[in-house]
Amino acid sequence: MDLFEKILKDKGPLGAYSHIDDNYYMFPMLEGEIGPRMKFKGKNVLNWSLNNYLGLANHPEVREADAQAAKDWGLSYPMGARMMSGNSVHHERLEKELSEFVQKEDTILLNYGYQGVLSVVDALLDRKDVVVYDSECHACIIDGLRMHIGKRFVYPHNDIDNLKSQLERAKKIVKETGGGILVITEGVFGMSGNMGDLSSIVSLKNDYNFRLFVDDAHGFGTMGKTGAGSGEEQGVQDGIDLFFSTFAKSMASIGAFVSGDADIIDNLRYKLRSQIFAKSLPMPLVIGNLKRLELIRSNPSFKEKLWEIVNSIQGGLKENGFNIGTTQSPVTPIILKGDVYTCTNLIKDLRSEYSIFCSGVIYPVVPKGVIMLRIIPTASHTLEDVKMTIDTFKEVKMKLDKGIYQEMGEKGAILS
């Protein structure tokens, strides 16, 4: 069979819905200045779907730093991989300041979070090693583990008793192979919004002799007294051996980093294929990220405003009977019942009739029969935005309970 003929028969779990009007549900286009109010299909909407937790995307100092760096350096500099010709004092300064902020000895910059995680996992493990990971880990972690040719065991989300069982299995294997054990979890899980039970995991390290890798993409900047993340929030930052985060959430930028003991980070500098064989992070991003980090460290008001909005919308939703799961973070899921067409009809109503833009999540990201509306509060939102949203969701929930979105069926989901 021809390769293309074969793959066109299998569009995958998301591609199966590609016949539903493009650029409305799939690949929608938001226009205008980044913020709570943007344009969608020519209409002003209240936007709850941007990873801009601290509202830095359009902060005037950030915009000025980005523009000046682009003017001073252009988008090409430094033109090479870090190891060959792409290093600079600014890259190293950003690494030093990130290390200080997340309370680790050293840091290495990564061009992107997704491929950075893949590369870190690949660099850490060989066939003798065993990795144990949380079942709800992000796709970048799962894809990184696909490259691991040794044993890997998964434990149900935050199930510490089961984690112990998997660690017992791992101990027996590495005793024979001479390998090591790596545990991987997340600081804040991006769909449920709850935190990995880092304190319980760290307490197991002496008994099971493992190293801990934490992806804290959603916790960096939002959790902990200083914003250093979920480890700081739980008082176990020093028990995290490798701390990873991205600039794509609280920093409203591009790039990522991983921090840890200096000798391990130095070892990774010579092993991370995604950095050795790729161009260095462009200078405007480095300079811009330095400014963003400076603002986060010097202005706790950003995080305080974020949590004012978080507490208001999560409290309001719970008071009105909405199920927001077990979130412990700004990530705010609203869990409803329905199929894919119920979801698309509901989203269409929200966007077209109520001018509220949020993301709808369906199977396979959540179980069949479940719809999740995912709200991302930011420091740029207002309490008026929160009130409008809760009032709207109350009306939409009434329609859902009456079966209106179900009755519309597939036909109602296809836009002309």
* 163: pLDDT strictly greater than 60: yes
- pLDDT score recorded for residue 24: 83
- pLDDT score recorded for residue 1: 83
For the segment 122-157, what is each residue's pLDDT rounded down to a tens digit?
999 999 999 999 999 999 999 999 989 999 999 999
| pLDDT confidence band for 325 (50 / 70 / 90) | very high
Average pLDDT value over all residues in the chain: 93
| pLDDT confidence band for 411 (50 / 70 / 90) | low
| pLDDT confidence band for 25 (50 / 70 / 90) | confident
Residue ranges covered by each domain of the chain:
3-53+301-413, 62-298
- pLDDT score recorded for residue 416: 32
- pLDDT score recorded for residue 271: 95
| pLDDT confidence band for 164 (50 / 70 / 90) | very high
- pLDDT score recorded for residue 410: 60
The span from the CA of 384 to the CA of 329, in Å, is 21
For the segment 335-355, what is each residue's pLDDT rounded down to a tens digit?
999 888 888 899 999 999 999
Identical fold for domains 3-53+301-413 and 62-298, yes or no, is: no
- pLDDT score recorded for residue 415: 40
- DSSP label of 26: B
* 414: pLDDT strictly greater than 50: no
- pLDDT score recorded for residue 412: 58
- The answer to whether 241 touches 211, Cβ cutoff 8 Å, is yes
Instruction: Please compute the mean of the pLDDT values over residues 49-75 and round it to a whole number.
Output: 96
Out of 25-29, 129-133, 256-260, which region has the weakest mean confidence (pLDDT)?
A: 25-29
Write the secondary structure of the chain as one string of H (helix), E (strand) and C (coil): CCHHHHHHCCCHHHHCCCCCCECCCECCCEECCCCCEEEECCEEEEECCCCCCCCCCCCHHHHHHHHHHHHHHCCCCCCCCCCCCCCCHHHHHHHHHHHHHHCCCEEEEECCHHHHHHHHHHHHCCCCCEEEEECCCCHHHHHHHHCCCCEEEEECCCCHHHHHHHHHHHHHHHHHHCCCEEEEEECECCCCCCECCHHHHHCCHHHHCEEEEEECCCCCCCCCCCCCCHHHHHCCHHHCCEEEEECCCCCCCCCEEEEECHHHHHHHHCCCHHHHCCCCCCHHHHHHHHHHHHHHHHCCHHHHHHHHHHHHHHHHHHHCCCCCCCCCCCCEEEEEECCHHHHHHHHHHHHHCCCEECEEECCCCCCCCEEEEEECCCCCCCHHHHHHHHHHHHHHHHHHHCCHHHHHHHHHHCCC
- pLDDT score recorded for residue 19: 72
| pLDDT confidence band for 367 (50 / 70 / 90) | confident
Instruction: Please compute the mean of the pLDDT values over residues 5-26 and round it to a whole number.
Output: 78
Instruction: Please compute the mean of the pLDDT values over residues 274-295 and round it to a whole number.
Output: 95
pTM of the predicted structure, to 2 decimals = 0.93
What CATH number does domain 3-53+301-413 carry, 3.40.1390.10, 3.90.1150.10, 3.30.70.240, 2.40.110.10? 3.90.1150.10
CATH code 3.40.50.720 for 62-298: no
* 374: pLDDT strictly greater than 60: yes
∠ CA 32-253-270 to the nearest 5 degrees?
155
For the segment 186-224, what is each residue's pLDDT rounded down to a tens digit?
999 999 999 999 999 999 999 999 999 999 999 999 999
DSSP 182-212: EEEEESB-TTT-PBP-HHHHHTTHHHH-EEE
Instruction: Please compute the mean of the pLDDT values over residues 10-24 and round it to a whole number.
Output: 74
The span from the CA of 218 to the CA of 138, in Å, is 11
* 16: pLDDT strictly greater than 80: no
